[in-house]
């Protein structure tokens, strides 16, 4: 696959159903069985990944979504937050990566890296001090990806997935 074939475009409000579908699919693929129970993953998806929530997130001026497209097919997406849209109170001019997901069939094609490069471009345009994120401690592939891109662990926080209290590693990249 030639990376030039990947187009990264902002998600439009009328794309809310596409965003919902890819969000549910990629979250389930990443965190569903065998990593978590069917009950916990479905409870989380049915609470967080619903059309009203996605539509509200799309209309938040401090949140941005981008799709990665390959041949008119969505291959992945990102959600970044600034200001009061960030999921944790963080001091300074910071940017949160809340979601960066690639569809299973397109993993291993460097699409995640292209999406991350888009985040870096946006951060530089906004003169961001550092980019931060939370990543599940039991997701070694993602942790390795972020470390390879210069992120360092600085804290942890708790995250509820259904009835399971999990720990996320908080990581940041100082720009």
Secondary structure of residue 124 in the 3-state scheme: helix
Beta bridge partners of 170: 134, 155
pLDDT, tens digit, for every residue of 95-152?
Answer: 999 999 999 999 999 999 999 999 999 999 999 999 999 999 999 999 999 999 999 9
Rg, the chain, Cα only: 15
**What local confidence, expressed as pLDDT, does residue 133 receive?**
97
Under 8 Å CB-to-CB from 12, ≥6 apart: which residues?
A: none
- Residues 128/93, Cβ–Cβ less than 8 Å: yes
Mean pLDDT of the chain: 95
Tell me whether residue 146 is one of the annotated catalytic residues: yes
* Average pLDDT over every residue of 40-64: 97
Under the phi-then-psi rule, with left for phi > 0, alpha for psi from -120 to 50, and beta for the rest, what region is 71? Answer: left
Give the predicted TM-score (pTM) of the model. 0.94
Query: How confident is the model over 149-160, as a mean pLDDT?
Result: 95
Annotated catalytic residue: which of 28, 66, 101, 146?
146
**Looking at the predicted structure, is the pLDDT value of residue 91 above 90?**
no
Helix (H, G, I), strand (E, B) or coil at 138: coil
């Amino acid at each position: 696959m030639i990376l030039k074939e990947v187009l990264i475009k902002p998600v439009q409000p009328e794309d809310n159903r596409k965003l919902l579908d890819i969000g549910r699919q990629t979250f389930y693929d990443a965190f569903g069985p065998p990593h978590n129970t069917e009950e916990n993953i479905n409870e989380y998806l049915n609470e967080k990944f619903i059309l009203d929530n996605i539509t509200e997130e799309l209309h938040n001026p401090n949140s941005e979504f981008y799709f990665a497209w390959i041949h008119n097919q969505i291959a992945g997406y990102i959600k970044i937050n600034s200001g009061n849209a960030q999921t944790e109170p963080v001091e300074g001019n910071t940017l949160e990566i809340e979601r960066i997901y690639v569809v299973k069939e397109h993993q291993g094609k460097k699409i995640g890296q292209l999406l991350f490069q888009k985040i870096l471009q946006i951060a530089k345009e906004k003169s961001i001090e550092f980019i931060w994120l939370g990543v599940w401690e039991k997701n070694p592939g993602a942790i390795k990806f972020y470390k390879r891109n210069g992120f360092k662990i600085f804290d942890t926080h708790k995250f509820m997935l259904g009835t399971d209290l999990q720990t996320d590693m908080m990581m940041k990249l100082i720009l």
